[in-house]
Chain A
Amino acid sequence: MLKLLKCILITACLFFVFDRAIGLALKTLYKTSNATDEYKISYSCETTRDSILMMGSSRCLHHYVPSIFEKELGMTCYNAGDWGIKNIYFHYGLLCNILERYTPRVIVLEIHPSEWLALPFSGTERAGSLAPYCGMSKGCDEMLKLTGKYWAYRLSVVYRYTGGLPSLMAGKLGTMDRNLKGWKPLEGVMDTVGVKAEEYPFPLDEQRIALLQRFIDTCKERHIQLVVCVSPMYVCTEEDAFRFPRELAQKCQIPFLDHYRDSSFINRSELFYDFGHMNRNGAEKYSRMIAKELKAVIH
């Protein structure tokens, strides 16, 4: 019995030491990676001190060109959007991590109609992408708790990077160009065959709505000017997909720049890479337009 207990104790100690050592190595790889997820999250959490931050999912990542905003607004800008159907659980955790270091002047939050719905996919697990920054802020930890894996992230540093070793090893070969300040342009023109508008037959998710309210409140507390934006789609549904966030923005007196059905973009395939994402030309055209609008609303 004593032998077994001794073995368990030594194994636990060895695991702890290996876990911390390998975890440290993985963290180093993570920070220096040029792969989209790793670079965007690590740069946002640890490096950026820009005045304007763009936050959102893939449509933010591909649609907002920081250099255009910097030129138009005379402020530094970073696109912190990240792909992978990121949602408010992720955005809120990321915001809390960023606020641990500094307070940006303006945050542009790009939203998608399905973000406020109880989808069968893209739920709390999206906050799991912030696992490498477990412990950085209370808000981030709170989001990680919602994934149900918080205790495991605390127990093992390596677990925060589970399944990520090959991507981290190849991280230097990643496609993110750091000079573009977080923007990832899409090249090419969409194939319009069979494209139809997305439908959203899901109920509203109260938890996500409460979290958006907290996102707004946190920005207000820190005197950050929040602007909610919706970039264009190639095709759109007829339903009023943004009724809730628009009403909330109005209630909280937040500018709401809705270009979801913008006629200068809609059905113009030469500006799109696929039905939901604009290509380089589309992104530049949209950024020029929205930068002017931002200039009018930022004080």
Chain B
Amino acid sequence: MVVNSLPFLWFFIAVLVIYYLCQQRREIQNGFLLVCSYWFYTQIDWRMAGLLAILTIIFWLLGYAVEKSIALKKERAASLYTNISVTIGIGALFYFKYLNFFAESFVAATSLFGIHLSWAAVQILVPVGLSFFSFKLMSYVLDIYHGKIVHERNLFDFANFIAFFPTILSGPIDRPKPFLKQLKQSRLFKSDSLMEGFRRVLWGMFMKMCIADRLDIYISAILGNYSHHSAISIVFAALLYPLQMYADFGGYSEMAIGIGQMLGFKVAENFRRPFLSINIADYWRRWHMSLTSWLTDYVFMPCNIRFREWGVNGTILAIMINMIFVGLWHGANWTFFVFGLYHGLLFIPLMLSGQFFKKSKVKTNQNGWPTSRFVMQMIGTYLLVTIGQFIFRANSMSEVWGMVGQVFSNWQGNIFLDFATMANAGICIAALIYVDIQEEWFPNYKLRMPRWSEPWRWELTVALEILAIVLFGVFDSNQFIYFQF
């Protein structure tokens, strides 16, 4: 059951009605939400719901143990429990996602030295959303250890935070403090909140179904069969791929945030117009923000502090480690490692020129538009991101080299263009660019509508948005790219 499907719509309408029927009793409302979240998870992967529950209980107990140890001034015990929680979190990720990858890589590495080991790949079922909820679990104990939050006494509230159904599959990765605080507040029915949340859900559906799924028809046809296509087609498809990723994952995030808002929650933002970034640091401050901020707090900052005596070199090392984590977080494949490494390397010029710590501020002309220098920087950043995404999309490094080889050897062929697909996607991409530019540089601008229609602005906009999805959407594709991570 995916969020842009009919079964989910019926499920969510039922949830919403019952949820607000018990709004006077917060405990019942939270309990109902927890039941719904687990029911939703079992619909995706019933076999792993037990693991989710067990990990939730273990981390809740560890959180309690850390807090208790701190209260009793047993610093070493607190540190030990924190380390255990990180070990379990990383261990679960390692076992379910990386065991085969590391074992096979180790065997390959030893064979280089003449030592011939063997590894029979273990068939492991990866729990859906593991990368997302394991980070939530770890941040909970780490935040208690660092004194940012107190242990949540109510196990069910904690379980609600971990299993919150709009975000469990593909994030955003919420932090414990703001989310648990919201669980303690009553969430009463508010029409405005519901209507605003619904608009975000619709916008997410538009991004996913009208842009991501439409582009996927073209991109998969080219990059999935690259040996049959010309260099120019491959380059064109590669240039479109970051847009597809943005529309797919950004669309999912919009839906998750909108659904959260309809349930009375403020879920962490995940994307802030990433392709208006003027350099790679700016890009990572706008792309998958909940993951990058998590890794900044729990990987980059501790590394940076540890390496600080090495000055700039220490920061570069911390960035490299951080970016490799970003890459490998996506899965067990050398392409993700190279993707992370590549992005890490892109940070070095920024570090050496001192741009890294500067806040990226775009200069605009008198009409509010960015100057040509910044436009060029945005295009440059997009091209750099495209190279990274090109590696990211491939199934293996040999596929990357295959595609690169095809690009450099087959310049004679014509570009393959599917008119209907490109035209549909083009119209919708234009709408996305319009909205992003308006939000970035003209946030106060409001599309002028006829005076008679002003009182019906929401209704008109929603009706037209639904119509746009019906007219331009792809209704046969249901999978989100980030579900696999």
Spell out A's residues near B (CB within 8 Å). Answer: 1, 3-4, 7, 10-11, 14-15, 18-19, 22, 125, 149, 152, 156, 158-159, 161-167, 170
The answer to whether A22 touches B458 (Cβ under 8 A) is: no
Complex: how many Å from CA A169 to CA B419?
A: 12
Complex: how many Å from CA A165 to CA B467?
A: 12
Contacts of B194 in A (CB 8 A): 4
Known contacts A18-B464, A166-B419, A167-B420; A7 and B470 CB within 8 A of each other: no
A265 to chain B, nearest CB (A): 28
Interface string of B158-198 (1 = CB under 8 A from A): 00000000000000000000000000000001010011000
The answer to whether A22 touches B420 (Cβ under 8 A) is: no
Complex: how many Å from CA A121 to CA B435?
A: 38
Q: Which among B195, B424, B464 is the interface contact of A7 at CB below 8 angstroms?
A: B195
The answer to whether A19 touches B420 (Cβ under 8 A) is: no
The answer to whether A158 touches B459 (Cβ under 8 A) is: no
Complex: how many Å from CA A166 to CA B420?
A: 6
B168 to chain A, nearest CB (A): 27
Contacts of A161 in B (CB 8 A): 471
The answer to whether A7 touches B419 (Cβ under 8 A) is: no
Spell out B's residues near A (CB within 8 Å). Answer: 189, 191, 194-195, 214, 419-420, 423-424, 427, 456, 458-460, 462-464, 466-467, 470-476
Known contacts A1-B191, A3-B191; A166 and B424 CB within 8 A of each other: yes
A76 to chain B, nearest CB (A): 33
Q: List 8 A-B contacts (CB under 8 A).
A: A3-B191, A4-B195, A14-B459, A19-B470, A163-B424, A166-B420, A166-B424, A167-B419
Q: Which among A7, A22, A152 is the interface contact of B471 at CB below 8 angstroms?
A: A22
Complex: how many Å from CA A151 to CA B472?
A: 18
The answer to whether B463 touches A163 (Cβ under 8 A) is: no
Q: Which among A1, A19, A152, A166 is the interface contact of B467 at CB below 8 angstroms?
A: A19
Q: Closest residue to A10 on the B side, CB-wise?
A: B459
Contacts of B473 in A (CB 8 A): 162-163
Q: Which among A14, A162, A170 is the interface contact of B470 at CB below 8 angstroms?
A: A162
15 additional contacts (CB under 8 A) given A163-B471, A166-B423: A3-B191, A7-B191, A7-B458, A11-B459, A11-B466, A14-B459, A14-B463, A15-B463, A18-B467, A149-B475, A159-B470, A163-B424, A165-B424, A166-B419, A170-B423
Contacts of B467 in A (CB 8 A): 15, 18-19, 22, 158
B7 to chain A, nearest CB (A): 13
The answer to whether A7 touches B459 (Cβ under 8 A) is: yes
A164 to chain B, nearest CB (A): 7
A163 to chain B, nearest CB (A): 6
Contacts of A125 in B (CB 8 A): 476
Q: Closest residue to A22 on the B side, CB-wise?
A: B467
Contacts of B470 in A (CB 8 A): 19, 156, 158-159, 162
Contacts of B191 in A (CB 8 A): 1, 3-4, 7
Contacts of A149 in B (CB 8 A): 475
The answer to whether A14 touches B460 (Cβ under 8 A) is: yes
Complex: how many Å from CA A11 to CA B189?
A: 20
A161 to chain B, nearest CB (A): 7
Contacts of A3 in B (CB 8 A): 191
Contacts of A11 in B (CB 8 A): 458-459, 462-463, 466
Q: Can you list the 3 inter-chain pairs with the closest CB atoms, starting with the nearest?
A: A166-B423, A14-B463, A4-B191
